């Protein structure tokens, strides 16, 4: 392939407009339409376009897996990873420096404030907000069940409900799809879902 043809391939993948790709690749405007159509018929250009598309699709697949992993982290997050309760019911915050980055990924906002009251007592308050679990689970289900005829699109809830029906946790088919998609152990997912 010539340099112009290689440039044509790159430009074509931007908007899939052969005429505009030919112009941007340096061909004349008057002949851009015919050269663009002619280039698309050449086997070596077709092969180059397909190869670049395959590379792009591989990159997107990795990004999709990253999105699914992030949705799983948020959807199956557990407040007990961040807070501890003593026997009197007092709450303390976990040491965030000891939490894994995967666990921290579910945190939307954390604020800590220390005040001294009039008596000189130190009062520490905090606000911990996790990302919306049910929204993450709903998005995960939409990703794993993109077609309406595959069943309900509502996530399991903290009360063990799924699409308005009582269950013993997450539906087994959802657990299997998540496991298959990410290569995770089914037992760990089902335990996290039952604990959510």
How do residues 35-55 score in pLDDT, each as one tens digit? 999 999 999 999 999 999 888
CA atoms within 13 Å, Cβ hemisphere of 147: 2
Is residue 25 predicted with pLDDT exceeding 90? Answer: yes
CB 161 within 8 A of CB 154: no
Reported as a pLDDT band with limits 50, 70 and 90, residue 97 is confident
Task: Give the Å distances, CA to CA, from 78 to 57, 86, 130.
Answer: 34, 17, 9
Phi, then psi, of 162 in degrees rounded to 5: -140, 115
pLDDT mean across residues, the chain: 79
What's the CATH number of domain 3-67, 2.60.40.10, 3.40.640.10, 3.40.50.2020, 1.10.10.1400?
A: 1.10.10.1400
The reported pTM is: 0.47
**Stretch(es) of the chain classified as CATH 1.10.10.1400:** 3-67
Is residue 110 predicted with pLDDT exceeding 60? Answer: yes
Q: Which residue has the tokens 């030919």?
A: 22
């Amino acid at each position: 392939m010539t340099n112009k043809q290689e440039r044509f391939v790159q430009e074509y993948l931007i908007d899939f407009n052969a005429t505009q790709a030919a112009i941007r690749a340096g061909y004349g405007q008057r002949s851009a339409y015919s050269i663009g159509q002619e280039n698309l018929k050449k086997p070596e250009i077709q092969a180059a376009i397909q190869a670049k598309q395959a590379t792009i699709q591989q990159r997107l697949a990795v990004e999709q897996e990253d999105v699914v992993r992030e949705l799983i982290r948020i959807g199956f997050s557990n407040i007990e990873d961040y807070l501890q309760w003593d026997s009197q019911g007092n709450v303390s915050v976990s040491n965030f420096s000891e939490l894994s980055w995967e666990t921290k990924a579910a945190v939307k906002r954390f604020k800590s404030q220390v005040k001294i009251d009039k008596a000189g007592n130190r009062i520490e308050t905090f606000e911990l907000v996790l990302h919306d679990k049910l929204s993450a689970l709903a998005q995960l289900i939409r990703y794993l069940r993109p077609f309406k005829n595959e069943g309900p699109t509502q996530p399991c809830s903290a009360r063990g409900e799924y699409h308005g029906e009582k269950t013993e946790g997450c539906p087994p088919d959802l657990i299997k799809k998540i496991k298959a998609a990410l290569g995770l152990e089914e037992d760990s997912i089902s335990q996290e879902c039952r604990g959510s």
